[in-house]
Structure 1
Amino acid sequence: MTDPLDMQEQEESPEQQDVKELRKHEDRQLETWGAIDPGKGVLLGKNEAGSINLSFYMLARYMNQQPPSQSYHDHLGNKRNVDTRNDIELHRAIMWLRGWAYDPKLDYVLQFWTVNTSKTINIIGSIAYNFDKKFVLQAGIDGLPGARSLNGQHPYFLSGDRFMGDEFFKPGFTMGLTARGQLTDILFYRLMVGNALSEVGIKASQFTRNMAYGGSVWVLPTGEFGPRGGYGDYEMHEKITTRFGVSATQSREDRFAQPDINDNPNNTQINLSDGVNLFSEGSLAPGVTIQRANYSILSADAAVKYRGFFFDVNYYWRWLDGFKKNGPTPQDNIFDHGFMMQTAYQIVPRKWEIYSAYTYIWGEFNNPWEVVGGFNYYPRNTRNWRLNVMVNHVEQTPLGSFFGFYTAGQTGETVALSTDIFF
C-alpha cells in the first residue's frame, strides 16, 4: 500500500511545475539565442515578473600588416594606396543584459556593443517570443542569414574574426523581424526581413522603402553540432557529427550618402573583387556613380567534427545588378563566386588547437586568394577564454574594414595575436 506522504512528495503543485518549466526554458535560452547570443554570464536577479542575466565578450588584439608601404591599380587603372595597420587595440567589447519578462516565453536582450578600432558604439537588442521550438519570432538586431557564420557561431570562430572569403561575400547585421525554429529532430531554419544588408552607421532617415530578405536551412544528421554550432571540435565528438546547409539573401541597396562636400557613401558592405566600393564615385566608369543596386547571394556549406578534427567548406555565389546610375558603365551586372575552407585539430584535447584556412575568389575584376595558419591555447577548462595566433598571406584582398583582419588591396602578410573572453 502506498504511503500518502510518499504520494504527496511525488505530486507537484502547479507552482512547482511552472518553476520546472521555467528552468527548462532558461537552460534552452543559454544554447539557442540567435546570431548575437550572449554567454551564460551571471544571474543578477529573478522574481515572478522576470529575470536578468549579465554576460560579456571582449577581444584584445595586436595586428601587424606587411609590407608597410603598398599600392595597387584597380580595374580602371587607378593607383590606390593601401593604408596598412600596426596597432594594439581592445578591439571589441560587448555586454549583454538578457532574460525574460512577464512571460517565461518572452525573451529580451539589451546589448552594449563597441568596436574601438572604428570608434563604433551602439546600444541594441531584441525581443523574442518562443511559441514553441518550431517557431520563435524576434524583433530587433540580427544577422541576415546569407552565410553560415551569421547563424549564431560567433564568437566560436577559429580566430577572433571571419576569414576573407566569408567576410567578402556575407551580408551584415540589421534591424528586422526574424523567425527561427527546429522543424524536426535534424532540420532547422531561420528567416529574416530587415532594413538593409547592414545597419552599421546608417540612420533611419537614410533608408529607402526597400527591404532586405534572407533565409537559411540546415540539417544536423545527429541532431547537434556542438554549442552554437561553433567552428572547431573543442567538444571532442566521439561519433562523426556533420552539418549541411543552404543560405540566401537579397536586397535592393542604396548608397546611403549624406549630402556633404565629399558625398561619400555610408554603405560600405559591398566591395568589388578588386577592393573598390561599388557605391564610390567612379567604381565602374570615370565620373559615374552607382546610386542603387541589387545584391543577391546564395551559399552552401558542409562541415564535420570527429575526435578533435574539424573541417568546413563554404561556397558562395554573388550577383550585383539592377544598377541605378548617372551615366553609362561597361557592366550592367557583376557575378563573383568563390569558396572558403577551414580545418582545425585538437593536438592536445581542450588545450592546444591548430587550424588553417584557404579562400579563392573568381571575381569580375580580380581573383584574390588567402591562406591562413594559426593556433589556439585554452588556459582553463573552457572554450570561453583563449589565446590566439594567426598568420595569413593575402593576394590583393577585395575588402577592407576596421572590424576584421583586412585592408582593401593588400598583398602580403598579417600577423595577429589576441586573447578573448566570453563570459
Structure 2
Amino acid sequence: MPVETYNRYSRWLHWLIAGLIIFMIILGWRLEDEDAGRFARFQLHKSIGITILFLSFIRLGLRFAYKAPPEVDGPKWQMAAAKAVHWGFYVAMIGLPLTGWAMVSASPMAIKTVLYGIMPWPHLPVPASEQAHDAWEAAHGILAKLITYVLIPLHIGAALKHHVIDKDNTITRMVPGLTPKPLLNWRWIIPAATVGIAIISGALIFGGAKPETPPTSEAVTADVAPVEGIASSSEASEMVSAVAASEVSSLSVTAPAVTKWTVDKAKTRLDFVTSFQGGNIRGRFSDYSADIRFDPVALDTSSIKVVINLNSVSTDDAERDNTLKSDSFFNVASHPKATFEAKSFTKISETRFVAKGKLTLHGQTKSFDLPFNLKITESGVKKVANVTAQADLDRLGFGVGSGDWASTDQIPADVKLDFTLSASAVK
C-alpha cells in the first residue's frame, strides 16, 4: 500500500532544518552589524551551518530508506519544477555549509572554529589565500541568494497553491491532518511556530548594542575634567614638552611626604577597545596589582607600578579570549604579565597629569606616556581619588599580533586603553 505521509523522522527533520535555515538567513543579514555581538554571531553561524550539514545528510538518507508518498498529479512541467526545487534544496543545504567551511578554512587569518563554544572543529585542507577565500565566499553568497530568494519562495508558494487552490494533500504529507477547510486549522501551529521562532531568535540573539563605558566610569568622569579625545603616547609627549619648564620650576624642594593609595577593585576597570572586521570589541583585565604613591604637590617623589595578569583578559567570548592568550597575541605562556611603571609626572592642569614611564608587554619594554584625569575628594578623615586614563597603544610596536594577525586589515594596530580607577588614601 502506498504511504500517505512522509515518515515521522523525515517530518521532524524537515521542520527542524527549515527553522534553522530561516534562522541562519536572518542571522546572516546581521553578520555585518558593527556591534559587540558580531564575533559571537559569526561563531554561532558557523556552528549551526555544520549542524545543518549533518542533518541534511541524515534527511537525505531517510529519503532513500523510507518510501515517500506518491507524487501529486499535475502538469509535467509542475512535476519537473517540484523535483528541481527539492533537489535544489539538498544542493543548497549541503553546499552552503561546505562552502562556508571552505571559506573559513581558506582565510589567511586562520580563525579557529569551536562549535557552540565547546567542540573544536578542524579546517578543510584547502589552500589559504585571499583569492581562495574570496572565491569560496562568492560561491557561498550565490547559494545563500539561491535558497533565500528562489527556492524558499517557490517552495512556500507552491505548497500554499496546492493547499488553498488545488485542495490536494501536498502539505498534509508533512503536516498530517491539516485539511484545506477550515483554513485556520490548529495544525498550522507547526509551520507558523517554526517560522516565527526562527525569525525572532535570528533577529535578537547576541543583540547589537555597541559596547558602552561601564556605569562606574561614567560616575567617575562626571566630576573629572574630560580628556579631549584619546591621547596617544606621542601626543602625551608633546604635552609634556609644552609644560616641562614651568613644571620643573613649580616643584618644591621641601615637598611633603607622598600619599599611598589602595585601589578599590570593585570600582576600578582596566579596559581596552579595539575592533575586528569593523565590529567594536571591548575587553578588560580583572587580575592586577597596583602600588600607587602619588600626590599632586609632590610629583618628584610620586610613583606608580601596575602589574596586569594577561591571563585574566575577557571580551565576553571564550574563543576570542583563548586566541588573545595564545602565542599569536599575548603569548601568556611566555609573557604572562604586563607592567607599567612611572616615576616622572607632569601637571597639565589642576586635574590633568601625564605619567611618563615604561611599559613592558610581550617581552618588550618601551617608553610610554599615560595622560590621566584626577579628582581627589575628602570626607572627614577619608580621602578618595577617582582617575580616568585614556591612551592609544600600538600593539604591533610590542609584537602583539604575529603572522597573519600582524595585518591591520582586520584588527587595527592602535588599541585604545580606557582605565577607570578609584582608590583610598592609606592612613
Q: TM-score per shorter chain, which class?
A: under 0.3
Structure with higher Rg: it is 2
**TM-score, length of structure 1 as denominator length:** 0.23
Q: By percentage of residues, which structure has more helix? A: 2
Q: By percentage of residues, which structure has more strand? A: 1
**TM-score, length of structure 2 as denominator length:** 0.23
